[in-house]
Amino acid sequence: MFAEFKKFILRGNAVDLAIAVVIGGAFSAVVNSIVNHIIMPVIGWLIADVNFADLKIVLSEAVIENDAVVKPEAAIAYGMLIQAIITFLIVGLVLFFIVKGLNKMKKPPEATKPAAKPADVVLLEEIRDLIKTR
């Protein structure tokens, strides 16, 4: 069983997948930071200083007694959904450009030459053409 696991884990696909997951996690952190700290503040500023993280529909207010939260606020945080959608679109756009760049770097497949026709086929075509002209 250990040998089979070793064979599985050392295959190229498993290692590539593990690397992709780690890089994807780091990439996600970078994109989240860009969206949360650069793009969303600019968008909020452009639409009258709105902070999307604060956009929510409050279902019930928080109950606070003696500076302690007894019951937390229940709210639908649709602003966080907007931020998540923008993050998704940015990740999709970046991945699109990465794949597009990788496809450009690949060599186009070599054009295959059509196979030469056998001599008897060429002869028959010539005979056909001569009959058509007469």
* pLDDT tens-digit series, residues 109-122: 777 777 888 889 88
Q: What predicted TM-score, i.e. pTM, was given to this entire model?
A: 0.54
In the chain, what are the domains?
A: 2-109 (1.10.1200.120)
What is the reported pLDDT for 12? 65
pLDDT per residue as tens, the chain (134 positions): 888 877 777 776 777 788 888 888 888 888 888 888 888 888 888 888 777 778 889 898 888 888 888 888 899 989 888 888 888 888 788 778 888 888 888 877 777 777 888 889 889 999 999 999 87
Q: Please write the tens of the pLDDT for every residue from 70-94.
A: 888 899 989 888 888 888 888 788 7
CA distance linking residue 86 with residue 77, whole number of Å: 15
